[in-house]
Amino acid sequence: MPDTHLQIRLASRPKGWVEESNFRVVEAPIPAVRDGEVLLRNHWLSLDPYMRGRMNDTKSYAAKVEIDDVMVGGTVSEVVESKNPKFAAGDFVVAMGGWQEYATSDGAGLQKVDARLPLSSYLGAVGMPGVTAHIGLFDIGAPKAGETVVVSAAAGAVGSIVGQLAKIRGARAVGIAGGKAKCDYVVSELGFDACVDYKSPDFMDALVAATPSGIDVYFENVGGAVLDAVLTRLNPFARIPLCGLVSQYNATEPYRVKGLGSLLINRVKLQGFIVVDETSKWPAALRDLAGWVAEGKIRCRETIAEGIRSAPRAFIGMLKGENVGKQLVKLV
């Protein structure tokens, strides 16, 4: 066991796009374990869009990261020392271990994982992104067989699962993603019925062609001009689970949406949600997801960066849509 480890701390708050200079790498002592605590070695770090909000000095749904604090993040971690009777060295847990190589925990919120699935899946399809897709699509979107479900950021960690869940429910799944490679992946590997490239000049025509019966559920991850395009295709009584607005997180001036009249004319329900509010729904959702992953009904590529020092660049890349599927940092 080393005496020190590496951490990524918030050095400054971004103005607009995040830059690597907003972070700094710190070599810090590995903390001593007190009674009731465990020492965790982080094996996998999850990078997620919500982290961008934590970097701002503004009100959000969760506490901001203070300057010089370690960046927050979900991890799959190994218990390497335990003074907590609920955990033993060698256990693997899902934790909020942060952007660092080691962390201590009093055990609160740690979830032991079942080693039958790949460890990294607990940060993806069988973790927060999967539960986000499950709750947003099934509880808010509530698609019926034969309806059309559209999801933006369809090649991302959440979006890729949304479409596969829609197919499991018998709905038509249409993705929106950036570029031909992602769209091909979404259709060929994930089994969506269609995927439309929002960067293409004929995006609107392609969206119309891919949704010949209109749109019944729009799972929103991005906002901006893509939202305005979708608003023109909504059917009466459509539902919009509002999960993210990643196109806006680095915008210094927000995109201004013009098509809200569609929400009135079509009597649409739009519902913002945050998966951490819905703790009571996690166990059942995770059981569903673990089963479908084990059966091969849900799959998701991973984009893997190596080593904690790579986290800032990988995070910026994810915000720009450079990843396919779940963005992870492999620490061990």
Q: Is 158 in the site for a copy of itself (CB under 8 A)?
A: no
Residue 208 interacting with a copy of itself (CB under 8 A): no
Min dist CB 270 to a copy of itself, Å, is 5
> Is residue 266 a contact residue for a copy of itself (CB under 8 A)?
yes
> x/- contact string, 7-46, with a copy of itself (CB under 8 A)?
----------------------------------------
- Cα 118 to Cα 86, 92, 282, 289: the distances in Å are 23, 11, 19, 13
Cβ 258 to a copy of itself shortest distance, Å: 5
Does residue 248 bind a copy of itself (CB under 8 A)? Answer: yes
Nearer to a copy of itself, 25 or 242 (CB): 242
Contacts of 17 (CB under 8 A, 6+ apart): 250, 316, 319
| Contact between 259 and a copy of itself per CB under 8 A | yes
The answer to whether residue 265 forms part of the interface with a copy of itself (CB under 8 A) is yes
Answer for which of 236, 283, 291, 307 binds a copy of itself (CB under 8 A) is: 236
Long-range contacts, stretch 81-88, CB < 8 angstroms, 24+ apart: 81/33, 81/38, 81/39, 82/33, 82/38, 82/39, 83/33, 83/34, 83/35, 83/36, 83/37, 83/38, 84/36, 84/37, 84/38, 87/38, 87/112
SS3 33: coil
Stretch that binds a copy of itself, among 63-71, 150-158, 252-260, 287-295 (CB under 8 A): 252-260
The half-sphere exposure of 44 on its side-chain side, counting CA atoms within 13 A, is 20
Verify binding: residue 277, a copy of itself, rule CB under 8 A: yes
User: Using the rule CB under 8 A, which residue among 4, 15, 32, 61 binds a copy of itself?
Assistant: 61
In whole angstroms, the minimum distance from the beta carbon of 264 to a copy of itself comes to 4
Q: Supply φ then ψ for residue 141, to 5 degrees.
A: -70, -40
Q: Is 260 in the site for a copy of itself (CB under 8 A)?
A: yes
User: If you count them, how many residues does the chain have?
Assistant: 332
Judged by CB under 8 A, does residue 170 bind a copy of itself? no
Does residue 254 belong to the site contacting a copy of itself (CB under 8 A)? yes
- Spatial contact of 11 and 22, defined as CB atoms under 8 Å apart: yes
CB of 194 to a copy of itself, least distance (A): 23
Q: Which is nearer to a copy of itself, 121 or 247 (CB)?
A: 247
DSSP secondary structure of 136-160:
IIIIII-PPTT-EEEEESTTBHHHH
Q: Does residue number 242 form part of the binding site for a copy of itself (CB under 8 A)? A: yes
Regarding 63 and contact with a copy of itself (CB under 8 A), the answer is no
Work out which of 83, 273, 297, 299 binds a copy of itself, going by CB under 8 A.
Answer: 273
Regarding 264 and contact with a copy of itself (CB under 8 A), the answer is yes
CA distance 203 to 68: 42
DSSP string, 155-185: TBHHHHHHHHHHHHTT-EEEEEESSHHHHHH
Contacts of 220 (CB under 8 A, 6+ apart): 152, 227, 230, 240, 241, 242, 243, 244, 245
* Binding flag, residue 263, a copy of itself (CB under 8 A): yes
Binding site for a copy of itself (CB under 8 A): 53, 59-61, 223, 227, 236, 242-245, 248, 254-261, 263-274, 277
